Amino acid sequence: MPYIAKHCHARIAPRKARLVMDLIRGKPVDHAINLLSFNKKRASVMITNVVKPAVANYNDQETAPSREELIVTEARVDAGPIMKRFQPKDRGKSYAIMKRTSHLIISVAPADEAFGGPVEDVESLDKVDPKTATAGKTDSK
């Protein structure tokens, strides 16, 4: 069962937040928090503040919590409402300024639930990139 935490109406553009979310998707929680703490982007602070409550939700509901076995199964950024402001321009024109907001959604789950079976070495999961990993495919020419 995944444990979810959300930050709705975060005052950051979704395009900027997705760059940081892509870094932690599929990583163990400790490794993800470590990546976020050394990242210079402003979104990393906001995302760290969402990962920690997701882990706390797991710790509250499980009888024997072990943080080492948790994986970030879902890291998603949805567009929130847009605040529209107007800047006066020359000859009576106005220029629209779109202040975009985001909904940051993080889901964590134990490694055995996330991958459908027991996982022997959780630390080896940070070395595998889910976007470039090939399942049983060989490179034949």
Instruction: Please give the domain boundaries of the chain with CATH numbers for all domains.
Output: 3-113 (3.90.470.10)
**DSSP-derived 3-state class of residue 58:** helix
Which pairs with CB-CB distance under 8 Å and at least 24 residues apart come from 134-141? none
Dump pLDDT digits (tens) for 7-50. Answer: 999 999 999 999 999 999 999 999 999 999 999 999 999 999 99
Dump pLDDT digits (tens) for 116-141. Answer: 665 666 556 555 555 554 444 555 54
**Is 43 within 8 Å of 13 (Cβ atoms)?**
no
Query: 86 has which bridge partners?
Result: 96
Tell me, what's the pLDDT at 9? Answer: 97
Model pTM? 0.78
CA of residue 17 relative to chain centroid, distance: 9
Distance CA 133, CA 42 (A): 29
Kindly tell me the sign of the dihedral angle through the C-alpha atoms of 77, 82, 85, 91: positive
Dump pLDDT digits (tens) for 64-78. Answer: 557 778 999 999 999
Tell me, what's the pLDDT at 112? Answer: 80
User: Confidence class of residue 62 from pLDDT cuts 50, 70 and 90?
Assistant: low
Distance CA 118, CA 141 (A): 35
Distance CA 138, CA 140 (A): 6
**Is 66 within 8 Å of 53 (Cβ atoms)?**
no
Q: By C-alpha distance, which of 108, 44, 103, 43 is closest to 74?
A: 108
